[in-house]
Amino acid sequence: MLKLRRVSPLALLLAVSLVASRAPAQQTGAEAKALLRKGIALHQAKDFAAAGATLSQVDAAALSAGNSRTLGQYLDLSSSGAKQQAADLKIFQAAAAALKAGKLDEAKAGFEKIADSKFLKQSTLDDAKTQLAQTTKPKPPDDKIKPPDDKTKPDDKTEPRDDTAGKRLIALLEARRREIQKYIAQGKAFMAAKDPDSAEISFEKALTLDRDNAEAILLRDEAKAAKKRKLRSAIINATRDRLRIQKQIANLQFDKAIDRAIGLLAIANTKSDFDSTAEQIGIAREVLARNVSLYSIEELRAKRLAAERLSAKLRADRTR
């Protein structure tokens, strides 16, 4: 039988509040989310005091709006859970003491009161169930031989309790829990494979089974944020590729105009030849004017200088 030391609920709550009063240090988003996950896991394991202490260390400013709301909800739940757990534990300890003192009715009432507690750990509930069985008073032997009663109807016999429905419900709940964990595991695998779209679908499936599942909510929000980052990255890459191609076309047009101007100027003898050369230099300058934003200051200066030198040679050759 599990032996527990008496713990004052007030002392337990005081310990939680002291830890919670410590201001969290500045954290990165990843660190804050990791602490949030740890606190949620402790809460789900019914370690409410540790959950509250862990969650109080999370820097809410480092979380997204959705995760920040989740943090607030679990801080409240852990605080109320710690209070109720302390109260139920006090009842358990009193019932155990009553059983030890031979006060079976008092012990039975206490153990039955916490039998369905949602705040005590399973090990404590199992121990309470074991001790509850010890509170049943043994039935004194009946030495009298009773004559058969022909008037007794079969329907008057006490039927054994049929707990098939309860077992079926427990089986259904366990199956649903496994299904939720399956979808969460799938979502995590998709996130690891950098596929936030599929991950979000998996987490949403988990939430259709349990819309309040904190882990699924947290991971779903992370998947949505990853989708936004992925979309922004795709837009940036597409824009970068478009500008790169546009710059390549501008370079080809500029170089083609300059090369034609050089070739024409090399054989120019007539006014028409010089005019054609000037036209090609003008085309090269127009290409630069249309695509100024594509070039760095150094690149633009070098191309303008090439066009200006060719223009100066054209003026010199015209005057010969």
pLDDT over 70 at 11, yes or no? no
68 Cβ contact list (under 8 Å, min separation 6): 60
pLDDT over 90 at 134, yes or no? no
- Six token digits for residue 86: 């302390």
Q: Return the half-sphere exposure (C-beta side, CA atoms, 13 A cut-off) of residue 256.
A: 9
Give dist(CA 42, CA 96) in Å, integer.
Answer: 27
Give dist(CA 298, CA 260) in Å, integer.
Answer: 24
Give dist(CA 309, CA 51) in Å, integer.
Answer: 75
Provide Rg for the chain, Cα atoms.
Answer: 40
* Secondary-structure percent of the chain, ordered helix, strand, coil, rounded to 5: 75, 0, 25
Domains (range + CATH), the chain: 1-136 (no CATH), 235-318 (1.20.58)
Give dist(CA 170, CA 176) in Å, integer.
Answer: 10
Q: What percentage of residues in the chain have a pLDDT greater than 90? A: 45
Q: Return the half-sphere exposure (C-beta side, CA atoms, 13 A cut-off) of residue 16.
A: 23
pTM confidence score: 0.42
pLDDT over 70 at 22, yes or no? no
Return the SS3 of 260: helix
- Six token digits for residue 247: 């710059």
Give dist(CA 226, CA 278) in Å, integer.
Answer: 54
Q: For 151-208, what is each residue's pLDDT tens digit?
A: 555 555 555 566 788 888 898 999 999 999 999 999 999 999 999 999 999 999 999 9
